[in-house]
Amino acid sequence: MDPQPIPAAVARGGPPPKKPGQTLVLSRRDIEGLLTFESALEHVEYVFREWGRGNVVMPAKINLDLSRCGHDSWSNAMPAFVVPAGAAGIKWIGGYGDNPRRGLPFIMGAILLTDPRTGLVLAVMDGAHITNLRTGASAAISARYLAAPEAAKLAIVGAGTQGYACLKALSLGPERMTVRVADQSAERRLGLCERMRRETGLDVREAATVEEAVSDADIAVLVTTADRPIVRDAWIKPGALVLAMGSFQQAEDAFLLSVDRIVVDSLDQALHRGEIKLLAESGRIGRDRIHAELGEIVAGVKPGRGSAAERILMIPVGLGTHDICIAHHVYRLALERGAGTWVDLQS
């Protein structure tokens, strides 16, 4: 397969630092002024395609679980290199259960961008905003390649920050969808519905239960912190696409074992984290049960949906390559626009 040109927004390299040898620090506010959902979508699709072509270097996430030490928290180290874009670095990101009562986001993290030729730290930047946008973009690209034709009914289970990001990214597609939002917090449900009606004009309504949200959905996005199954097999109709984006299993075993196709973003990660982790560890789901990595479908290496009636499970555990490629884009824009603060880590 002939390589496709790198999109202009994903250009290789970039202008040199205005202060050679120094590092650019970018805050969340800096990044919010530079990164759009539209550019996140472009970068995520590009990285999936290059993943399918074998043009990225990314080991599986390294997890630091602090629960054994009495802390309700975990962190992941996510190194990555997107070869055609020349983008290299690492993301350090985690979830902190006590943060909401402290007035802090549940997800906290940072991205360190490096020059792959020298190891120079080009930039240190907030990781949470990039994570949220690329998570939403992953949902939208998954739906683009795996949802049934004419899919028009969307369910969002989990009305937190990433639930918003998924809904926002999916709303940018050409289809006009009706949306049902479920969350154990009525305040969060209503808040997300009101915000999205205001921002998109879509028919977005709350669902009192998870069953009410997903039972007629063409696309069901499960983006919760639940650590037990909350979705029954009988609720998922033929032809539905389920995006399981939580850190733990959210659908009952019967659905995971009977679904027509399972697609993942990274096979190595999906067997050890997220939706099918427990079934994989018990030997009830193996590598032979995974139809494809999404990058293989985006790159045209493997087919996507086989029929309109298939129920498909997509498990996007999260690719560090997405974060690093987007961070590289943000860094280039920051240099062009004079954003951020320079520091000297070498002195």
Which residues are designated catalytic? Answer: 91
d(CA 263, CA 274): 13
d(CA 327, CA 43): 10
The tokens describing 63, both together, are 């997890």
Q: Which residues, including other chains, have CB under 8 Å from residue 205's CB and lie 6 or more apart?
A: 178, 179, 180, 181, 193
Q: Where are the beta strands (DSSP E) in the chain?
A: 23-26, 56-57, 62-65, 73-82, 87-96, 107-114, 121-126, 153-157, 178-182, 203-206, 219-222, 241-244, 261-264, 292-293, 312-315, 341-343
Q: Within 10 Å of residue 268's Cβ, how many Cβ atoms?
A: 15
| Residue 305 identity (one-letter amino acid) | R
d(CA 226, CA 51): 29
